[in-house]
Structure 1
Amino acid sequence: MIKNLYHMMVFAKVAQTRSFTAAADALGIGRSVVSSHVSQLERNLDMKLLIRSTRSLSLTSQGQILFESCGCIAREIEVVQERLDAQHSEAAGNIRMTCSVNLGTGVFSGMLAEFQRNHPEITIEMILEDRMADVVEEGFDLAVRTGWKDDGRLRLIKLPTPRILICAAQEWVKQNPEIKSPGDLCNVPWVQTSLSTPTGKLRLRHRSGTKKQIEVTPVFSTNAGLAAKLAIIAGAGVGLLPDFAIQEELHKGTIISLLPQWTEEKDHPLSVVVPNQATQSRRVQLLIEFIKTNIQRTHISGDSPKYPRH
């Protein structure tokens, strides 16, 4: 059926131009290919559609009926194509995205709510899973990931690499000795997350490039960044958190960044991955730019924190 439809569209162009050569030029294919499509259509329908001579080409009665019907079909296809092109170019419609539970609950829920308020004509479906979803097979418009697995079907868009900060709650900072150097972390209760290096080992990197390994004492361990954040806010101890996940708390002073010149030694790059196709809808482009801008503005300065007075 689908093959016959294309044969019909080629036939309609021949009937319209009354020329195999003109039809081939209009369709951007070879004359012999045009002739093959028409011949195949005639065989499939078991009827003659064209009367060919050395100087002219005319339609049989069946060919005239088919040509009139094909004209209606062609116009309908053009209307559908125009509607699809319009939706593709405008900022409207649904975006289906996926990311990890940690990223979704800790970062993107609030961020995407702001995006949707700015673009009420766009709807968002966010699927949170810790497994690596198949973006193409599962019909996602984009995914946000840490790290990168090579896949020729996908295109990588790098996001600013977050800084993993040493953090504590404001109340904890008030009630405990000031942390002046990495060595002081040996003596504090540590909140361990999967962002960190193996339990009890903390590897840090200074802005100058200097590296240090510290022995810490975990009192609370979790594989969920949101759980670590809540434990730190509750005063469980000191731990590592990504800068983009704690901007509101840093601004309010709920969380204090300790030793801001130091970060975790290992980087955790973020990226957006999208299907590797020629074009991308306007709404997806807008969301990607919004995510990049928001991640970029979360990078805090390296100035020393202002400790609350004890």
Structure 2
Amino acid sequence: MDKLTSMVVFTKVAKAGSFAAAAKELGLSRAMATKHVMQLENSLGVRLLNRTTRHLSLTEVGMVYLERCLQILDDLEETELAVTRLQTEPRGTLKLNAAPFFGAYHLAPAIAAYLEIYPDVNVELVLQAGYVDLVEEGFDLAIHLDELRDSSLIARKLGTSQRIVCGAPSYFEKRGVPKTPEDLKKHNCLSNSSLPPRDQWQFVSQDGKSTVIKVSGTLEASSADALRMAAISGLGLVLLPTYMVGQDIRKGRLQAVLTDYVPAAADIHAVYPHRKHLSAKVRTFVDFLHERFHPTPYWEEWMHPESGEMGGQ
């Protein structure tokens, strides 16, 4: 028999002073209630109750055991309540993984706003590029900016990001503005050495035709943010996602070109290991990001004139 159930039966019998009354309260037969208490006594090797035809009383050992049982059951009830609250009320530590730039520029402001609403949550934000094993490394969720690799993960689309060619106004003053992807062969194109093939930029025309252009330039870097800063300084052109350069374009630090040849937008997902029994902190944070970034993220407002600060900055 389940010892915990037997402990519950014993406490009810001790409080009621009767097997029949305790059995009725618990929805058991009198015989089953008696069996539970006898099982406890047999496993402990002691008598917990003195039984007569008219009276039921605790032995000295039974009184000590009752006190400990009540404490254990109270602790268990508090534990179950605490766990239930974790599922229904956002609280505890949310461990989150994201790429460095997106995490610093878009998630950090979002986290600050989220914690204003849910002050009982703490966030551990780990910024690292590349794929991570959520279960192995103990993450509650991650933000994926590229193609999903693990089909066992639950994914929710938060928004999209285009990739756009851009450069500083000072660069275009010196080198001119490319009108077609073929023109890029005459320009200083800064490439990302961590994203092979680093010297090939792909474009899609308005009629759906795909074109791959082999580019070259005076800077290759493993950091997209380094390329962004070099482009802002006027060194050359970059092909970067709008979540990185959208604000720079709106503020005039960069200028977008070849906008008729933009590749298909990439989806941004929140991914987490399980859908069943999803904790309140994960559920509410994903909902919060979805509302903040969906359907058109603020970083895609680069095509419109600036009218104050961007929504997430």
* Both structures adopt the same fold (TM-score exceeding 0.5): yes
- CA gap of 1:81–1:262, structure 2 versus 1, over 3 A, is same
**Correspondence 1:23-42 to 2 at 5 A:** 41-42=40-41
Tell me if structure 1 keeps the 8 A contact 2:250–2:302.
Answer: no
Contact 1:244–1:295 (8 Å) recurs in 2: no
258, 271, 275: which one aligns with 1:273: 271
- Provide the C-alpha distance between the structure 2 equivalents of 1:208 and 1:255, rounded to a whole number of angstroms: 27
1:9-44 alpha-carbon deviations (Å, 9 max, x no partner): 465467668369758758xxx999988876654443
Deviation at 1:227, TM superposition (A): 1.6
What secondary structure, in the 3-state scheme, does the structure 2 residue paired with 1:246 have? helix
The RMSD of aligned alpha carbons is: 4.0
SS in 2 for 1:98: strand
Query: How far did 1:100 drift?
Result: 2.9
* CA distance in structure 2 between the aligned counterparts of 1:212 and 1:276, rounded to whole angstroms: 39
1-side partners of 2:213 and 2:55: how far apart? 87
Which letter maps to 1:70?
C
1:292 paired with 2:290, answer: yes
- The structural deviation recorded for 1:167 is 1.8
- The answer on 1:239 being equivalent to 2:230 is no
The answer as to whether partners of 2:246 and 2:302 remain within 8 angstroms in 1 is: no
Deviation at 1:109, TM superposition (A): 3.2
Once residues 150 and 74 of structure 2 are traced to their aligned partners in structure 1, the CA distance between those partners, rounded to angstroms, is 42
Contact persistence 1:261–1:304 (CA under 8 A): no
Contact 2:199/2:214 (<8 A) preserved: yes
Aligned residues: 297
The answer to whether structure 1 residue 172 and structure 2 residue 171 are counterparts is yes
Shift of 1:278: 3.0
Residues 22 and 155 (structure 1), Cα distance of their counterparts in 2 relative to 1, 3 Å cut? farther
Question: Match of 2:248?
Answer: 249
Which secondary structure does the structure 1 equivalent of 2:226 belong to? Answer: helix
Structure 1: how far apart are the matches of 2:256 and 2:31?
72
Unaligned runs of 5+ in 2: 306-313
Q: Percent identity?
A: 24
- Aligned: 1:181 with 2:180: yes
* Alpha-carbon distance in structure 2 between the residues aligned to 1:174 and 1:57: 102
- Seen in structure 2, the aligned counterparts of structure 1 residues 138 and 215 have a Cα distance that, compared at 3 Å, is closer
Give CA deviations for 1:62-85 in whole Å, capped at 9, x if unaligned.
445434432333233323433443
Contact 1:163–1:299 (CA<8 Å) still a contact in 2? no
Q: Is 2:144 the counterpart of 1:147?
A: no
**Corresponding letter in the other structure for 1:45:** L
- What is the match of residue 82 of structure 1? 81
Q: 1:61-100 maps to which residues of 2 (within 5 A)?
A: 61=59, 62-63=61-62, 65-86=64-85, 88-100=87-99
Cα 1:212–1:277, aligned 2, differ >3 Å: closer, same or farther? Answer: closer
Relative to 1, partners in 2 of residues 1:65 and 1:196: Cα closer, same or farther, differing over 3 Å?
closer
Q: Distance in 2 between matches of 1:220 and 1:31?
A: 84
Counterpart contact for 2:190–2:238, Cα < 8 Å: yes
Q: Residue 255 of structure 2 aligns to a residue in which SS?
A: strand
Aligned mates of 2:12, 2:5 — CA distance in 1:
11
Q: Deviations over 1:159-188 (max 9, x none)?
A: 323211212123223333122222221211
Which ranges in structure 1 are unaligned for 5 or more consecutive residues?
306-310
Shift of 1:106: 4.8
Asked whether the equivalents of residues 97 and 140 of structure 1 are also in contact (C-alpha less than 8 Å), the reply is yes
Q: What is the SS of the residue equivalent to 1:166?
A: strand
The one-letter code of the counterpart of 2:177 is E
Q: Do residues 217 (structure 1) and 208 (structure 2) align?
A: no
| Pairwise CA distance, 1:119 | 4.9
Residues of 2 paired with 1:289 and 1:109: CA distance? Answer: 16
1-structure distance, mates of 2:129, 2:166? 25
Q: Distance in 2 between matches of 1:293 and 1:194?
A: 34
AA partner of residue 220 (structure 2) = S
1:220 to 1:114, Cα distance in 2 relative to 1, 3 A = farther
